[in-house]
Structure 1
C-alpha cells in the first residue's frame, strides 16, 4: 500500500536538519566512508569524461563547452544513484543494522539504478526550463555578452559583467529551480529506493508533497543553506590558515591540508543533505513500521533532537 502524503508542521524542517547533523554518531565509519567514496566516484566520472581536454590539446570555446556538457550529463545521471546508495547506508545505520561504506553501490544490487539515474534527466529538464526562463528574462544581448566575458576570462582580458533586463524574474526563476530540483528530485530518491515506487509515481508524489509541505520544506532548505554557507566560510578561512602554515614546511603540505579540509566539508555536506532528505521522506511519506517492512528490522528510536552531538 502506498503511504499517503502527510502535512507536517513548520518546525519539522528544523528537526530533520538536527537529526541529520547527529547522524555520524550511529556508524560514522560507514556513513562518512560512503560519502568519501561518493566524492571519489564523481571525481573519477568527471576525470574520465574531461580527458579529451588533456589529450587533444587546447580546444576552442565551443569544443570546451561540448566536453564539459557531456561530463556534466554523465555526472547528473550518476549522482542520483550514488545519493540513493548514501541514503541506503544512512538508513541501515539509523536502524542499527550492519552496513559498510561500499554499500553505497546498493542501488545496483537492488535494481534501482535505472529509475534513479533517470532522475538526473528530470534535473536536466528542470535546468532547461529554468534556462529558457532566464533567456527570456535576461534579454537578447545578455548571453552574447556573457560568452564574451567567458572568452575574456580565458584569454586574460577584462570584460564588462552583463546585466539582466529583468533581474527580479531571474532571481525568481533560479529560486523555483533550486527549490523544485531539491524538493522533487532529492525526495524522489528515497521513494524509489525504499518505497518501491516507479519514476513517474515518485516524481508526482514528491511534487505534491513539495506543495503540501511548502513551509517545512522551505524552512529546512533555508536552515541547511545558511548552515552550509557559514560552514563553508569557516572552512575556507581555516584552509587558508593551514595552507600558509603548511607552506612554511613545504608547499605540497599546505595544499594537502587544505584539500583534506575541503574534502571533510564535502563529506559533511553530503551526509547532512541526504540525511535531511531521508528524514523528510520518512516523516512525510513513510508509514509506521516502514523500516521493518523494507529491511527486516525494527527501526531504532531516533536520537534526541534538542541538542547537537559532536
Structure 2
C-alpha cells in the first residue's frame, strides 16, 4: 500500500541539513569514499565523451567543440541520478549500521534500478527544453542571440545584460524550473531506490511532495545554498593558502594540494546534498526512521568489514 505524503513543519528543512552535516560518524570511509567515486565516474564519463576533441583535428571548429561538449554533458546528466542513488544507498546502509563499502555506490546496477534512475535525467532534459521554450516566448527571438553576445563579451571583460520583453516572467520561469526539476530528480531517487516505486509513480509523488512541503523544501534549499556560499568562500581561502604553502616546496606540490582540497570539498558537498534528500525522504514518505530497504538486506560476505 502506498504511504501518504506527510506535511512536515518548516523547521524540518533545517533538521535534514543538520543531520546531513553529521553524516559519516558510523562509516566515513564508505560514505566519503563513495562521494569520491561519484566524482571519479563523472570525470571518466566527461573524459571519454570529449575524447574526439583530443584526437583527429588539431584545431576543431567551434561547432564541433559545442556538439561534443553537449553530448558529454547529456551523458553526465543521465549517469548522475544513478550515482546519486548509489550514494544514498551507501548513506542508508551506513546509518542503519549495516556493512557497506564505497564500491556499493554501484548498488543500482545490482538492483536493476539504473535504467529508471537514468530516465530521471531524461525528464530533467525535457523540463530544460520546456523552460527554454517558455523563456524564448517570454524574451523575444533576439534574446538568446544577445545572451550569447553577452557570454562572449564577458570573456573579454565586457558584460552587457540583454533586456527581456518580460523580465519578471523570465525570473519566475527560471525559479519554477530550478525548483521542480531539482525536486523531481532528488526526491524521486530515494522513492525509486527505497520505496520500490517505478519512475512514473516516483515522479508523481515527488511532484506532490514538492508542492505539499514547499516551505520545508525551500527552507532546506536556501540553507543549503547559504552553506555552499560560505563554505565555498572558505575553501577558496584554504586553497589559496595551500597553494602558497605547497609552492614553497615546488609549484606542482601547491597545485596538488589545491586539487586535494577541492576534491575533498566536492565529496563532502555530494554527501551533504544526498544526505539531506535521504532524510527528507524518511521524514516525508516513511513511518519508521529505521525502516529496512525495499530489497532484502544483503548478507555480509565472510571477512567483510564495515569500512
1:195-218 superposed Cα distances (whole Å, 9 cap, x missing partner): 110100000000000000011001
CA contact (8 A) 1:12 1:216 kept: yes
The SS at the match of 2:221 is helix
Task: Give the C-alpha shift of residue 290 in structure 1.
Answer: 6.2
CA contact (8 A) 2:242 2:254 kept: yes
Q: Structure 2 regions of 5+ residues with no counterpart?
A: 298-307
Q: Is the counterpart of residue 21 in structure 1 residue 8 in structure 2?
A: no
Q: Structure 1 regions of 5+ residues with no counterpart?
A: 298-310
Task: Give the C-alpha shift of residue 31 in structure 1.
Answer: 0.1
- Structural RMSD (CA): 1.8
Q: Is the counterpart of residue 134 in structure 1 residue 140 in structure 2?
A: no
Distance across 2 between alignment mates of 1:281 and 1:17: 13
1:151-182 superposed Cα distances (whole Å, 9 cap, x missing partner): 567xx756553423133322222211221122
Q: Is the counterpart of residue 164 in structure 1 residue 152 in structure 2?
A: no
Which deviates more from structure 2 when the two are superposed, residues 263-272 or residues 144-153?
144-153
The equivalent residue for 2:269 is: 269
Q: Is the counterpart of residue 196 in structure 1 residue 196 in structure 2?
A: yes
Distance across 2 between alignment mates of 1:246 and 1:145: 43
1:15-52 superposed Cα distances (whole Å, 9 cap, x missing partner): 11111111111210000000000100000000000111
Distance across 2 between alignment mates of 1:200 and 1:30: 31
1:65-103 superposed Cα distances (whole Å, 9 cap, x missing partner): 111110011001100000000000000001000000000
Q: Is the counterpart of residue 78 in structure 1 residue 79 in structure 2?
A: yes
Task: Give the C-alpha shift of residue 293 in structure 1.
Answer: 5.6
CA contact (8 A) 1:61 1:151 kept: no
CA contact (8 A) 2:150 2:162 kept: no
Normalising by the residue count of structure 2, what TM-score does the alignment of the two structures yield? 0.91
The SS at the match of 2:294 is helix
The equivalent residue for 1:281 is: 281
The SS at the match of 1:269 is helix
Distance across 1 between alignment mates of 2:221 and 2:157: 36
The equivalent residue for 2:115 is: 114
Q: 1:157 to 1:95 in 2, by over 3 A?
A: closer
Which deviates more from structure 2 when the two are superposed, residues 187-196 or residues 49-58?
49-58
Distance across 1 between alignment mates of 2:228 and 2:277: 15
What does residue range 28-67 of structure 1 map to in structure 2 within 5 Å? 28-55=28-55, 56-67=57-68
